[in-house]
Amino acid sequence: MHFASKFSGGFARREGVAPLVLGWLVLCATSALATNWPSFRGPTGDGHAPDGCTPPLEWGESNHVAWATDIPYRGWSTPAVLDNQVWLTTATPDGKESSVLCVDARTGKVTVNKPLFHTEAPEPLGNDVNCYATPSPVIEPGRVYVHFGSYGTACLDTGNGAVVWERRDLPCRHYRGPSSSPILFENLLILTFDGADLQYLVALDKATGKTVWKTNRSVPWNDENVPGQMARDGDLRKAHSTPLLVTVEGKPLLLSAGAKAAYGYDPRTGKELWQVRHMAWSAAPVPLYRKGLAYFVTGSGKTELLAIRIGGDGNVTDTHVAWRYEDMVAKTASPILVDDRIYMASDEGMLTCLDAETGKQIWRARVGGNYAASPLLAAGKLYFFNKQGKTTVLQPGAELKILATNSLPDGFMASPAVVDNTFYLRTRTRLYRVE
């Protein structure tokens, strides 16, 4: 069911809808939120919606939009959705003020708009790709965790919006702005800091915010694999990727992409298990995992998609790389795995499908636009959201099959969230509920 929406003061104003019908719509919205989207890449960290999610195939500003809410300032963070609440972050364009917002999933009303951190002199971004509120929140019953890199991390009570704890003492010169999103594992909140000066992972006790472990990146910046590299070059030292938690032979494994290397860690202790070195930097996409192979995008410079066999100890660069793919690899949007194929959207608007076992290209097509938001799989369909506001919907398979194209104004930098029959789509200026 869909209806046109008018916008006033940032909230949807439904015109010509009888009170009885409106009440029915709100009841449906309430019952529809049986699942959740807790973090950047969803419940499983890989962009797959839970079984039973059936979001629409087609939409537009006056088609399938339940409400749209103006979001102040600027933020590329993915909405975190739980219990009829949609949490997201934003920051002033100059980075001096960082805030958290909560939107009522049923009505689009902003229920929390809380400034959290003031930074007198944030480092300039130097580009228009990133912003100061790129890391996505992560949510669990009763608590939401928001992260602005070295500018501040906080835990809030989702019942009243009160700050439970905060940290502002985790140093990192982000150089191009913070990007890596936090993830939850058991009693830990795991954060990634890959800056121009310091590069490390840190795990905080999610109840108190106290540090449990901290692990520095181990690959040297002037190592023999990168001849002539200057350690003072900030771009060559940084990365933006969010780790992926997987289980291998009954044990948890944290896959993390840094500058100059891909890493495997024990998430309980922070111990580095193995590393694969490369020559790139500014890795942004989230790693993937399938049947003993981990997949990493290396970043800028020598951009590759690496398939790495899990296992080994220490530097396994020469022994554990199963294959490499170098042509039109997506540098910003994360790839997605569906069955035995990898799909990715390059920054330049090229969609590519690869065989996950061999790395062989199956098909490629130029669909136009530029991609920063990561794709999503729901109800057996792939959704790709570009910076121009266009969404291309595909049927996964050995041949390109476009099912629909849709458009919203202002374009997508933030990756989407999906809960049951509903998309929460954040454009540069608004949050939309599409169902």
CA 329, 330, 334, 337 dihedral sign is negative
Q: Which residues pair with 338 in a beta bridge?
A: 341
Distance CA 168, CA 182 (A): 15
Closest-CA residue to 46 (of 384, 290, 320, 307): 290
pTM: 0.90
Model pLDDT for residues 403-434, shown as the tens digit of each residue: 999 999 999 999 999 999 999 999 999 999 99
Reported as a pLDDT band with limits 50, 70 and 90, residue 3 is very low
H or E segment and range at residue 90 = strand 85-91
Residues 6+ apart with CB under 8 A from 33: 81, 83, 84, 105, 419, 420, 422
Residues 6+ apart with CB under 8 A from 375: 47, 333, 334, 335, 336, 343, 344, 345, 382, 383, 384, 385
Strand 272-277 and strand 314-315: pairing? parallel
**Residue 184: exposure state from Cβ atoms within 10 A (0-12, 13-18, ≥19):** middle
Would the pLDDT of 10 be above 50?
no
The domain total for the chain is 1
Is 219 within the bounds of a domain? yes
The CATH number covering residue 424 comes to 2.130.10.10
In sequence order, what DSSP letters do the residues of 348-378 get, joined into one string?
A: TSEEEEEETTT--EEEEEE--S---SPPEEE
Q: Could you list the residue range(s) of the whole structural domain that residue 173 is in?
A: 6-434
Reported as a pLDDT band with limits 50, 70 and 90, residue 83 is very high
Is 50 within the bounds of a domain? yes
Order of strands, edge to edge, in the sheet holding 211-216? 183-185, 188-194, 199-205, 211-216
* Residue 122 or residue 232, greater confidence: 122
Is 1 within the bounds of a domain? no
Identify the pLDDT of residue 48. 98
Residues 6+ apart with CB under 8 A from 157: 142, 143, 163, 164
